[in-house]
Amino acid sequence: MLRLIKNTLRVHLHSKAFLFSCTGALGICGMYIFNDEHNTFRAVPFLFIAVLTAVPVCFGAGTEFSDGTLRNKLTAGVTKTQFLMAQVIAAIADAVIMLLITLIPYDLITQNALLPSQNTAKGLWIVLLLLTMTVAAAVIFAVLTCLTQTKMAVLLCGIMSVGLVAGSMWAEGKMLQPEEYQGNRSELFVYDESGENIIDSIVTVETIPNNSCVKGKARAALYVGFRLSPFSCLNIADQLSHACVDTVNAPDAARAKYYENRFEEHCDFNCSAYIDLWKAIAWTLGECAVFTAIGVMIFRKRNII
Amino acid sequence: MEYVLRTNDIHKRYRRYVALDGLTMNVPKGSVYGLVGRNGAGKTTLMRVVCGLQEPTSGSYSIYGIDRSERRIVQSRRRMGAVIEKPAIYLNMTARENMKVQYSLLGLPSDEGIDELLTLVGLADTGKKKARRFSLGMKQRLGIAVALAGSPDLLLLDEPINGLDPQGIVEIRELILKLNRERNITVLISSHILSELALLATHYGFVDKGRIVREISAEELERQTRKCMKAEVSDTRALARVLDRLGAEYEMISDTEAKIYQKIPITQLTKELMNEGCELISVSEADESLESYFIDLVGG
């Protein structure tokens, strides 16, 4: 298996598709860096990098089918399961390398916008979330390419990525809808006997229920859908990057308080999504594992042409 | 006789289409086994199944005596090399790089032998040329070289001369003969270009509609297809007595027909048969080629 992994990595990393993707990733990052005057970290470029991993992954795995070299492997005694797992591992390597070659220059050029010395922990969480997203996307692309047995799976992966990103943004937006809005605010003043001094005031705020607020089972379904998209890690990383410096390092109670205040208008949102970052990573990695397992079961039964 | 590859009643179905319908065949060790059949007969499907690319719907096969259901079949497959349909090579790599990749996949300790193999297939001087720029013949030869990495004892070649020019065909033929004679590699080769197979094969398996219609050695086939006289008579026993008396070699092929492998004057034959009270209905000269043998077998 080790030989097969080495072999597969060699094919992936020596390919023109990988070189093209790395160049593209650096280009995307460069565009954002040099267009941003404030040197702030932005998570959005890394979304494009995650989607760009489809190129080396789909072309790397697809080449084995189009050139027929998968037949050499199967004839040499490699099982289909081993082949698919080797492609998944190579995809992870592609993703990690592409992410690192963009993150490191990004951080250096933006003068540690990602990993500021005063809050390295926050930066590391963001890196972990971005890594999880990119790796998850690459794994899904690899499995899909093996199942479709063609390089053209890159188109399917691109379309699917657009759908997943749009889906996770939509789900997050829906979940952030508040239960009610503040309506008219009226204030009643109480004067003293002279009628000149205000001794008290009574404030009345009208509340208007928000019909767009999603509750109950629909909300639970949205939450699961949000979690199942590997790109939800990007949403979380983006939110985290806007959180104040002290929040991440604060004790749980303080963090919970911060996020409660943050989401006071959106009190129905499950703010634990932003507190338990391990959950986000575990969800995404668990989803990858399940998707890969299903992919293996299907691929094993497939006829290789 | 020792057999390298044996299949037993293999069936392969793709939804409603039956590709293999109870195919049973035996490939003797050291032979060049020609798999002959029309397009769609099941030759390529059989090779894919034996290589492990696809699972048979039912039936079994064994390679070097190891049944496909056993775990040790993996070791048996490592003694096999195959070129199925088109050569399996990385088009963006050179010949040497392709060989190195295959060597590393097989866990071979060093690159020793790569130069020898490339020289054997006539690709030693391709240098840094990527396989993408090779001619079809060169790609086929590189595919064979990759299949030979690891020194296999059994080589499966699926229509290796398809699309080649005459020079390319000669080169592949000579390579196969060299591999079989010098390295004692058993070769299973499928083709529908019978004239080429006739120059190579030591054994034949005729495939039609997913099953082996006949297995025959090249010697036996030559005996059956050699020039002869076909005689149709009213009494084959009388004919047999006449031919025995004349010391002629013959073969009864039906109740009324016989093949006579010796030139006998018609007048003499007619006279002898009349003396036996037998009528000579018809006489014709038969000179079967592999093509006509095949067509007779499967129906033209």
Question: A40-78: per-residue pLDDT in tens?
Answer: 667 777 888 888 889 999 999 999 999 989 998 988 888
Q: Token digits for B194? A: 């019978």
Whether the Cβ atoms of residue A182 and residue A206 lie closer than 8 Å to each other: yes
Q: Which string of DSSP letters, residue by residue, matches B130-151?
A: BGGGS-HHHHHHHHHHHHHTT-
Is residue B258 a contact partner of residue B233, using CB atoms and an 8 Å limit? yes
Structure token digits, residue B107: 């866990």
Partners of A15 on chain B (C-beta within 8 Å) are 92
Token pair in block for residue A107:
């951080």
Instruction: Tell whether B235 and B198 lie within a shared domain.
Output: no
Indicate whether B19 and B110 sit together in one domain.
yes
Same domain, A251 and A264: yes
Beta strands in chain A (DSSP E): 180-191, 198-209
Tell me what pLDDT residue B244 has: 92
| Dist CA B208 CA B189 (whole Å) | 16
Say whether both B161 and B294 belong to one domain: no
Domain boundary at B184, B218, B252, which?
B218
Contact partners, residue A100, CB within 8 Å, separation at least 6: none
Provide the domain limits for residue A205: 180-209
Q: Are residues B249 and B198 in the same domain?
A: no
- Quick check: is A294 in a domain? yes
Cβ(B250)–Cβ(B263) below 8 Å: no
Cross-chain residue pair B81–A75, CB shorter than 8 Å: yes
Sign of CA dihedral B104, B105, B109, B115: negative
- In a mutagenesis test of the A interface, which of B70, B78, B90 is the best target, namely the one with the most A β-carbons within 10 Å? B90
Q: What is the dihedral of CA B50, B55, B60, B66, to 10 degrees?
A: 60
From chain A, pick out residues whose CB is under 8 angstroms from the CB of B14: 303
Q: Give kind and range of the element (H or E) at residue A114.
A: none
Tell me the per-residue pLDDT of B242-277, one tens digit each, with 9 for 90 and over.
Answer: 999 988 888 888 889 898 888 888 898 899 999 989
From A1-5, A294-298, B4-8, the region with the lowest mean pLDDT: A1-5
**Is the separation of the CB atoms in A76 and B104 below 8 Å?**
no
Q: Can you list the positions of beta strands (E) in A193-276?
A: 198-209
Q: CA-based Rg of chain B, rounded to a whole angstrom?
A: 24
Say yes or no: B239 and B288 in one domain: yes
Chain Cα centroid distance, residue A303: 34
Q: Are residues A288 and A188 in the same domain?
A: no
Q: What is the pLDDT of residue A273?
A: 44
Q: Of B218, B247, B262, which closes a domain?
A: B218
Report whether B248 contacts B262 (CB < 8 A): yes
Q: Out of A16, A71, A76, whose CB is closest to B106?
A: A76
Q: How many domains does chain A divide into?
A: 2
B232 with B181, same domain: the answer is no
- Please name the residue that has the structure tokens 């026993």: B237
CB spacing of B54 vs A72 below 8 angstroms: no
* Higher local confidence (pLDDT), B242 or A109: B242
44-63 in chain A: CB under 8 A from chain B: 63
Using an 8 Å Cβ cutoff, are A99 and A46 in contact? yes
Distance CA A164, CA A116 (A): 31
Same domain for B247 and B117: no
- Same domain? A236 vs A295: yes
What's the distance, CA B286 to chain centroid?
Answer: 24
Between chains, do A74 and B102 touch, taking CB under 8 Å as contact? no
Name the residue facing B90 among A11, A77, A304 (closest C-beta). Answer: A11
Q: What angle do CA B67, B212, B289 make, to 5 degrees?
A: 135
Is B157 in the same domain as B194? yes
The closest alpha carbon to A144, from A154, A133, A159, belongs to A154
Number of folded domains in chain B? 2
Nearest-CA neighbor of B120 among B144, B87, B88, B96? Answer: B144
Residue pairs spanning A and B at CB distance below 8 A: 76
| Mean pLDDT (whole number) for A171-192 | 79
Instruction: Tell whether B243 and B189 lie within a shared domain.
Output: no
Higher pLDDT, A215 or B68: B68
Considering the domain architecture, whether residues A163 and A270 belong to the same structural domain is answered as: yes
Residue whose C-alpha is closest to residue A34's, from A84, A125, A106 = A106
CB neighbours of residue A101 within 10 Å = 16
CATH number assigned to the domain comprising residue B172: 3.40.50.300
Nearest CA among B120, B98, B105 for reference residue B150? B105
> How would you classify residue B158: left for phi > 0, otherwise alpha for psi between -120 and 50, otherwise beta?
beta
Indicate if B118 and B265 belong to the same structural domain. Answer: no
Cα distance between residue A97 and residue B184, in whole Å: 47
Of A104-113, A151-160, A219-228, B65-74, which range is least confident? Answer: A104-113
Both A7 and A47 in a single domain?
A: yes
Distance CA B27, CA A134 (A): 51
Q: Which residues of chain B lie closer than 8 angstroms to A79, CB-CB?
A: 74
Task: Clarify whether residues A9 and A112 are in a common domain.
Answer: yes
CA of A25, closest CA in chain B: separation in Å? 23
Give the residue from B92, B97, B188 with the most A CB atoms within 10 Å of its CB, the best one to mutate: B92
Assign A129 a pLDDT band (cuts: 50, 70, 90).
confident
- Residue ending a domain, choose from A189, A209, A229: A209
DSSP per-residue codes, B198-244: HHH-SEEEEEETTEEEEEEEHHHHHHHHS-EEEEEES-HHHHHHHHH
- Does A303 reach chain B within 8 Å, measured CB to CB? yes
**Do A68 and A187 lie in a common domain?**
no
The domain that holds B254 is classified in CATH as: 3.30.70.100
Q: Could you give the C-alpha distances from B242 to A68, A155, B248, B250, B257, in angstroms and in order?
A: 61, 78, 9, 11, 14
Mean of pLDDT values over B103-119: 88
Do residue A80 and residue A27 come from a single domain? yes
Which stretch of DSSP H or E encloses residue A252?
helix A252-262
Same-domain status, A89 and A146:
yes
Q: Which of A144-153, A262-271, B133-142 has the lowest mean pLDDT?
A: A262-271
Mark which of A209, A230, A264 sits at the end of a domain.
Answer: A209
Range of the domain at B33: 3-218
Nearest Cα to Cα of residue B20 among B61, B52, B57: B57
Q: Do A69 and A17 lie in a common domain?
A: yes
Which amino acid appears at position B107 of this protein?
G
Report the C-alpha gap between A186 and B29 in whole angstroms.
100
Q: What are phi and psi of B287, to 5 degrees?
A: -140, 90
A19 touches chain B (CB under 8 A): no
**Residue A72 C-alpha, separation from nearest chain B C-alpha, in angstroms:** 7
Same domain, A145 and A245: yes
The yes-or-no verdict on residue A285 having pLDDT over 80 is yes
Q: What are phi and psi of B41, to 5 degrees?
A: -75, -25
Rounded-to-5 percentages of helix, strand, coil across chain A: 70, 10, 20
Q: Residues with Cβ < 8 Å from A282, sequence gap 6 or more?
A: none
B24, B94: one domain: yes
Distance from CA of A142 to the nearest CA of B (A): 19
Cβ of A15 within 8 Å of Cβ of B146? The answer is no
Residue B27 clears pLDDT 80, i.e. is over it:
yes
Runs of H (alpha helix) within B37-128: 43-51, 73-77, 95-106, 114-120
Is residue A33 located within the same domain as residue A151? yes
Percent of chain B with pLDDT over 70: 99
B230 and B214 fall within a common domain:
no
Domain membership flag for residue A214: no
Task: Compute the mean pLDDT over every residue in chain A, rounded to the nearest whole number.
Answer: 80
A255 pLDDT band, cuts 50/70/90, is low
Token digits for B265? Answer: 């004057």
